Chain A
Amino acid sequence: AQSVTQPDIHITVSEGASLELRCNYSYGATPYLFWYVQSPGQGLQLLLKYFSGDTLVQGIKGFEAEFKRSQSSFNLRKPSVHWSDAAEYFCAVGLLYGQNFVFGPGTRLSVLP
């Protein structure tokens, strides 16, 4: 069965520090991969997505993610975290026509001043 794991439930970083959020998936075929952010009281917003081509994907708000097929991973990175990045981050995967769309359990990011 398809699954998405985000090993870190909660991460705390200092403002200005670098960030990496992990995502691993188990799918029968290479899926489409997404990262979404959910801020308190706000809806889910797409940060970036990968479905083919360059394995390093740039997104909004200075985020990037790298797809590694050999590791079935799609980790999210940011070189310098801002206090406004504090939120819940979800990795998600789906197939060609959007079937079996699955969200990971999420990683909560806290940012220290």
Chain B
Amino acid sequence: EAGVAQSPRYKIIEKRQSVAFWCNPISGHATLYWYQQILGQGPKLLIQFQNNGVVDDSQLPKDRFSAERLKGVDSTLKIQPAKLEDSAVYLCASSLTGGSNEQFFGPGTRLTVL
């Protein structure tokens, strides 16, 4: 079974530029999560989708971050414009239905904002 795929693996941009990350969850997983993990910290949930609907986006900085999962499968996370403090690893995870179900994590995208 293929795991959660993310691209790109690494990205370096300058502040005020835009960037987009892509995630393809495990086939059949209805729930998709995006996390931000700053160096030395635990992952912070940015947004959670159930199919193509948003369950929780309370910690998403909506003035600069956006995410979509139009067909209930793959998802993109965008930052526009980027700030220095956005430097982090962006993790995508998926699970069958959320709740007590195990989340399977992708390898992450390491973003450096200069």
Selected from B41, B55, B103, the residue in CB contact (under 8 A) with A46 is: B103
- Is A56 at the interface (CB under 8 A from chain B)? no
The contact string, 1 if C-beta is below 8 Å from chain A, for chain B 61-79, is: 0000000000000000000
B43 touches A90 (CB 8 A): yes
A46 touches B102 (CB 8 A): yes
**Chain B residues touching A, range:** 20 to 34
A101 touches B108 (CB 8 A): no
- Is A113 at the interface (CB under 8 A from chain B)? no
Task: Collect the chain B residues with CB atoms within 8 Å of residue A44's CB.
Answer: 43, 91, 93, 103, 105
Task: Collect the chain B residues with CB atoms within 8 Å of residue A51's CB.
Answer: 100
A103 touches B42 (CB 8 A): yes
Task: Collect the chain A residues with CB atoms within 8 Å of residue B45's CB.
Answer: 101-103
Supposing A99-B56, A101-B33 touch, asked if A90 and B42 sit within 8 A by C-beta, the answer is: yes
Task: Collect the chain A residues with CB atoms within 8 Å of residue B101's CB.
Answer: 98
The number of A-B residue pairs with CB atoms under 8 Å apart is 61
A43 touches B98 (CB 8 A): no
Selected from A4, A49, A99, the residue in CB contact (under 8 A) with B102 is: A49
Supposing A32-B99, A49-B100 touch, asked if A103 and B55 sit within 8 A by C-beta, the answer is: no
Task: Collect the chain B residues with CB atoms within 8 Å of residue A32's CB.
Answer: 99-100
Expressed in whole angstroms, the Cα–Cα distance for A105 and B48 within the complex equals 20
Expressed in whole angstroms, the Cα–Cα distance for A100 and B59 within the complex equals 10
Task: Collect the chain A residues with CB atoms within 8 Å of residue B42's CB.
Answer: 4, 90, 92, 103-106
- Known pairs A90-B43, A105-B42, A106-B41. 10 more at Cβ < 8 A? A43-B105, A43-B107, A44-B105, A90-B42, A94-B100, A99-B55, A99-B56, A102-B45, A103-B43, A104-B42
